[in-house]
Structure 1
């Protein structure tokens, strides 16, 4: 009898090795390698000799000039979710939703399922982590107990596919979560890479065959990544991350992959006792409790997809007695802060080497665009000098390593959003225009070098405009 070969698979990145080791050589994760039986794959059939269903077929080709219809959309009834998806759910597509435990993934999908089922579309909700009584209690709390959603708690892959195939294909199938699924044909524990790969592949294939939209809920690791990302993410059509601090009321739904829409859109929600509520004007919500007139704060006019968002950046610069000053960042790239501090010291003469620096993006939002450099610099200089930034001024612009302020995109949308919220001044790159501004936006304060901002905060008195 032939000896059954086994493989050792990293549960963080999916790398396969011939022997066990304490540290994965691919991703560097410790204690993440588990011994698994290799998944059985169908035998390859030679071109000659294949018969029946296994017979080889000649592939057909098309030209690039042929007409192509846009993907149909199925609105979920939640405008913020539809915005992130690109207009709604696409029949036959697979969506992966990831987020920290307790962030609100199940609540969001239950609300979307109930709204979609209310329109007459058949919806199946399969929960592998909670009993039906727990899901019904959540639905009652959200006021959705009358929604015609088919609820189940099956985790066996064969039973799920057999159940879905026994009736008319539903419009939406929600699996909460994919880590709880298991198949008897795979010799591995539920949640392992082999089970994830096999179960997800089978469900996605079934969804594309029947035209049902499949939504998979995925857990995240301690680094904030969906478990087994290299195995799952390339299989699905859309990957959504549900972000936010568990103790904060704001939640941000962000698309990181979308074959049927943009990948830079976000949806903003507010967690309340009655469930997740859409935030139509995120800028007003993020600035609702901002510290007016306090040193160390600046308002950044940013862009998230096609939506302009104003958010407060807070900084604290304090002297330290330690040999190595501390640098702590929440909501921004720590490497970006280190670069900005180096530019302030090398190009502008601002000595921060003997100070601890703390930077925070208020509201739990995570900023990724380089346009936040100028606002972060304003907050740092305001805290360092003890001089409060003007309350009616917004900041945006990229700071280069030479100390110059470079222009960024979507200037008109940023200025219009600032004008709508009552801001009358805008510190912008010099390439944007002169100080007159436009009738639809605030008055501009153009600057070509970061020294302009440093000079104003270092002056004992005076106005920047």
Structure 2
């Protein structure tokens, strides 16, 4: 008779304990430890009589003298999705896709499945949350009801693998979602750490042996993290996050981890009546409709992976009647804002201790690189002084604690994107010999005091009354 082992596992991080505890010591989560029961395989007989497990095959490492060949990829038919995955789906790879409910994960995967199946590839869409009829209704709304995609509503991993192994291996298999899957080898409820880990391991083994690219859809928690054990993110080859705000019509697919391509790459989509449409020029989308004469706005030339991206930084500095002024940030790191405010007060001569500060990245985009420090500082100084910044200029640079403006990487790509959208100049750090684009003047700044002095002297006003161009967003561009 099988012997049962009782363990207690944290449902947030996957840590295992031998008894129940109120707080997990690994992730500091409260009331996340749940009792789980698993069947241990019986072991009988001496070690010498056990069958040998050395049954694996070994393969020679060929091509040592030649050039390394790139892993074969299968294009999804969606350029933005291929950009995030590094050029397409690698055979035998496993991708974990997370996102808020209703953000458009199933819509994106249905469009990718239909595009791939239209080229003659075998594609399987396995839904553990919806019936086959519900999936067909979504396909009809997207105009993809005629796509030769194989649909199934199943949650048992063994049945799914047995079905997919019949016939030729699928080029793509979608599991929606991994939290609903369960395997017979684990005696736990679906959704627990043990079941999610065991189901993911079985699907990963199937992907590696058959060469099928598998996409696992994962739920997210309230703070935006993918639910379930973090060990699943370490097991898969790539992790992508589908981001977006319900108040905005665009969605961002961001690569968090990718063994076969660059990380921090993004793909921008627009939610339309016919599904998700690609946005090949996201800079024009984020800058469309901005107020050119309003103080407190600066255009930041940033980088998202290998793609240059222009976005508007909005700041509002207002006198505060509270004993402790408010600091509200949307789309940026609040700790980074506190640092920039301290540098402006210590080295720029700007007194912001009695003012409320509100900072927003227009369009709902989240920025993580320190190159936005200079644009944020320019927007803060402009809002406090009431002088609008030149709307034909872009800003980028890292601000140090000493007030020095430090250079950032990929300056030529940022300047090229700004010049393409009609901007006339750039305010950037005193760089490392990176030459700006021809015909694109760049003003080098060494210290934060240079920026403050320029705004105070009125250099931020548009020159000669010239009204800079406003990039127009064309969804078909």
TM-score relative to the length of structure 1: 0.93
CA drift at 1:95: 0.7
CA drift at 1:31: 2.1
Name the counterpart of 2:457: 459
For 2:127 and 2:182, how far apart are their aligned partners in 1? Answer: 13
For 2:234 and 2:45, how far apart are their aligned partners in 1? Answer: 26
Q: Residue deviations 1:238-294, cap 9 Å, x none? A: 111111112211111111111111112111111111110000101011101212211
Name the counterpart of 1:439: 438
- The 1:340–1:45 alpha-carbon spacing in structure 2 relative to 1, beyond 3 Å, is farther
- 2:443 is paired with a residue whose SS is strand
CA drift at 1:458: 2.6
For 1:170 and 1:31, how far apart are their aligned partners in 2? Answer: 41
- 2:234 is paired with a residue whose SS is coil
CA drift at 1:183: 1.9
For 2:146 and 2:337, how far apart are their aligned partners in 1? Answer: 50
The more displaced of 61-70 and 454-463 is 61-70
- The 1:49–1:15 alpha-carbon spacing in structure 2 relative to 1, beyond 3 Å, is same
For 1:163 and 1:198, how far apart are their aligned partners in 2? Answer: 18
For 1:260 and 1:282, how far apart are their aligned partners in 2? Answer: 24
CA drift at 1:10: 1.1
- The 1:203–1:461 alpha-carbon spacing in structure 2 relative to 1, beyond 3 Å, is closer
For 1:55 and 1:228, how far apart are their aligned partners in 2? Answer: 33
Give the number of equivalent residue pairs. Answer: 462
The more displaced of 241-250 and 279-288 is 241-250
For 2:232 and 2:326, how far apart are their aligned partners in 1? Answer: 37
The more displaced of 180-189 and 274-283 is 180-189
**Runs of at least 5 residues in structure 1 that lack an aligned partner in the other structure:** none
Name the counterpart of 1:186: 186
Name the counterpart of 2:11: 11
Give the one of 447, 450, 464 matched to 2:448. Answer: 450
CA contact (8 A) 2:381 2:452 kept: yes
Work out whether 1:304 is the aligned partner of 2:304. yes
Work out whether 1:387 is the aligned partner of 2:387. yes
CA drift at 1:19: 2.3
CA contact (8 A) 1:95 1:239 kept: yes
Name the counterpart of 1:338: 338
Q: Residue deviations 1:85-105, cap 9 Å, x none? A: 111001111111011111111
- 2:379 is paired with a residue whose SS is helix
CA drift at 1:62: 5.0
CA contact (8 A) 2:382 2:389 kept: yes
For 1:184 and 1:198, how far apart are their aligned partners in 2? Answer: 9
CA drift at 1:70: 1.5
Q: Where in structure 2 are the equivalents of 1:313-462 lying within 5 Å?
A: 313-431=313-431, 438-439=437-438, 442-459=440-457
CA drift at 1:13: 0.9
CA contact (8 A) 1:378 1:453 kept: yes
CA drift at 1:162: 1.6
For 1:29 and 1:103, how far apart are their aligned partners in 2? Answer: 27
Q: Where in structure 2 are the equivalents of 1:64-463 lying within 5 Å?
A: 65=64, 67=66, 68-431=68-431, 438-439=437-438, 442-459=440-457
- 1:403 is paired with a residue whose SS is coil
When the two chains are superposed, the root-mean-square deviation of aligned CA atoms in Å is 2.5
CA drift at 1:387: 1.3
For 1:199 and 1:313, how far apart are their aligned partners in 2? Answer: 44
For 1:265 and 1:437, how far apart are their aligned partners in 2? Answer: 24
The more displaced of 215-224 and 3-12 is 3-12
Q: Residue deviations 1:131-162, cap 9 Å, x none? A: 22221111111111110000111111121112
CA drift at 1:44: 12
Q: Residue deviations 1:5-43, cap 9 Å, x none? A: 311111111111222233222112222211111464797
CA contact (8 A) 1:86 1:260 kept: yes
For 1:97 and 1:41, how far apart are their aligned partners in 2? Answer: 33
The more displaced of 118-127 and 349-358 is 349-358
CA contact (8 A) 1:37 1:188 kept: yes
**Runs of at least 5 residues in structure 2 that lack an aligned partner in the other structure:** 464-477
CA contact (8 A) 1:433 1:444 kept: no
